[in-house]
Amino acid sequence: MGIFHNKSVEHSNQPVSRIRSRTESKRCGLWHTQCTVDRIHCRDFNRILKIPSGISIFKLARQPTELKRFFSVNIDILFRTLCLIVVTVWFTRVGSTQGTVILAVNTLLMQFFILFSYFMDGFAFAGESLCGNSIGKQDIYELNSTIKALFRWSAIMVIIFTVLYAVAGEWIMTLLSDDKDVISSSKEFFAWVIAIPAVGFAAFTWDGIFIGATRTREMLISIAIATLVYFALYSTLFGTLGNHGLWVAFLAYLLSRGLILTFLRHRLVKAK
């Protein structure tokens, strides 16, 4: 894997602590699932909780309402992340039970989902900042305009990636793998990859918007229901459709997240 560069370590004059730090960073980088893990940085907590600058965590402890909200936001994100991990790990596990070829096929095809998610995360991050700013100013017109703009750009990305995958999907697979058997077997399931942008874009876009509004409970509700949909469809379809059933369940999971958050969009501006 090229994780440990022994020669560079032996001949380097860098301090051991710095080398260890870089090694640990590389190890952490390997634990990569395509679940979209929320990036809420520590420096943003005061903004999220509406705590005036200069108030420490110790002063926060004397404000029960804000302290309760602090833990509520973190608990919602924690359980949401667990749902993301469960879905991803189960997808990999089921692939492995079907043999090494199908496991490799699913891993290869999942790279198309990850590639799309990287681009959509950009709009999600923009949504966090812009929508959070609009809600903070209580400017509903600006909020609605921002949401419309985000979805317009997201729709453009859907068109671009759908066409790209449909036209150049096989060529992209040859860049990601040189195993002809895996590439050949992947073609049977590639139609599900082409559908990923259309069914998944709303989930990514709404995630950013709801994070900006700190409506984490709604995000948890959406992914919890979507996870139930995922396992319900997997249990129903996998026995008859095999790996196709697994992909149907995964796409339904993405679609459910987007639809549920669309249904809950009216909660964006409700009083916290």
pLDDT digits (tens, 9 = 90+) for 26-42: 344 433 434 433 443 44
62-80 pLDDT, tens digit per residue, is 566 656 666 677 888 899 9
Asked which of 27-31, 73-77, 121-125, 157-161 is least confident by mean pLDDT, the reply is 27-31
Residue 74 one-letter amino acid: N
Judge whether 161 and 77 are in contact, CB under 8 Å. no
Do 152 and 22 fall into the same domain?
no
8, 92: one domain: no
Domain enclosing residue 16, as ranges: 1-31
Residues 213 and 79 in one domain: yes
Domain count, the chain: 2
Q: Are 27 and 77 members of one domain?
A: no
- Candidates 245, 226, 227, 247; CA nearest to 236 is 245
Residue 57 lies in a domain: no
- Can you give the pLDDT at residue 267? 86
For the record, the structure tokens of 118 come out as: 């990287």
112 belongs to a structural domain: yes
Is 4 contained in some domain?
Answer: yes
In a domain, 55, yes or no: no
Q: Residue 159 domain-assigned?
A: yes
| CA 125/CA 211 separation, integer angstroms | 9
DSSP helix/strand/coil, 35: coil
One domain for residues 235 and 120: yes
Is the same domain home to 9 and 83? no
The pTM assigned to this predicted structure is 0.74
